[in-house]
């Protein structure tokens, strides 16, 4: 069995993410369209309880879009790993490059988490 190149591994990982991404985009579209149709129908038939159901369906659009965007960001991050991996000549070099990339990503994520918690603390203090 021939070893796979970093590009082949990354393409496979992105391909596996693609179904979930399109499923989430489809769900977001379905929630928005169904919610809108139900809201219009409830307004025309003057049924406020049905309008609540349409509002709930429409509000499910945001979590689906947020998850789809997160999946897209992960696919892009995986694609960005291709550059350091393709430059490595040995497994040890690849491991070192991945270590640096993930360390930088974790530092970025922890600084984002700290800044968002600071914003929440400032917002709650006001």
What pLDDT, on the 0 to 100 scale, is given for residue 64? 85
CA-closest candidate to residue 8, choices 68, 82, 93? 82
* DSSP state for residue 4 in the 8-state scheme: P
CB atoms within 10 A of CB 95: 11
What pLDDT, on the 0 to 100 scale, is given for residue 119? 55
What pLDDT, on the 0 to 100 scale, is given for residue 57? 81
CB 101 within 8 A of CB 81: yes
What pLDDT, on the 0 to 100 scale, is given for residue 50? 83
The radius of gyration of the chain from alpha carbons, rounded to an integer in Å, stands at: 22
Write out the chain's pLDDT in tens, 126 residues: 677 777 777 788 778 878 888 888 898 889 888 888 888 888 888 888 888 888 888 888 888 888 888 888 877 777 777 777 777 777 787 788 778 777 776 676 666 555 655 555 445 544
What pLDDT, on the 0 to 100 scale, is given for residue 28? 87
What pLDDT, on the 0 to 100 scale, is given for residue 14? 79
HSE, CB side, 13 Å, CA atoms: give it for residue 12: 6
What pLDDT, on the 0 to 100 scale, is given for residue 62? 87
């Amino acid at each position: 069995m021939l070893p796979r190149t970093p590009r082949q591994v990354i393409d496979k990982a992105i391909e596996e993410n693609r179904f979930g991404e399109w499923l989430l985009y489809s769900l977001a579209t379905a929630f928005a369209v169904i919610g809108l149709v139900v809201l219009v129908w409830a307004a025309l038939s003057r049924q406020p309880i049905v309008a609540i159901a349409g509002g709930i369906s429409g509000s499910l659009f945001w979590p689906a879009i947020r998850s789809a965007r997160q999946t897209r960001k992960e696919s892009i991050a995986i694609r960005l790993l291709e550059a350091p991996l393709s430059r490595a000549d040995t497994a040890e070099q690849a491991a070192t490059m991945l270590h640096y990339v993930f360390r930088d990503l974790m530092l970025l994520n922890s600084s984002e988490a700290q800044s968002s918690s600071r914003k929440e603390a400032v917002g709650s203090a006001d």
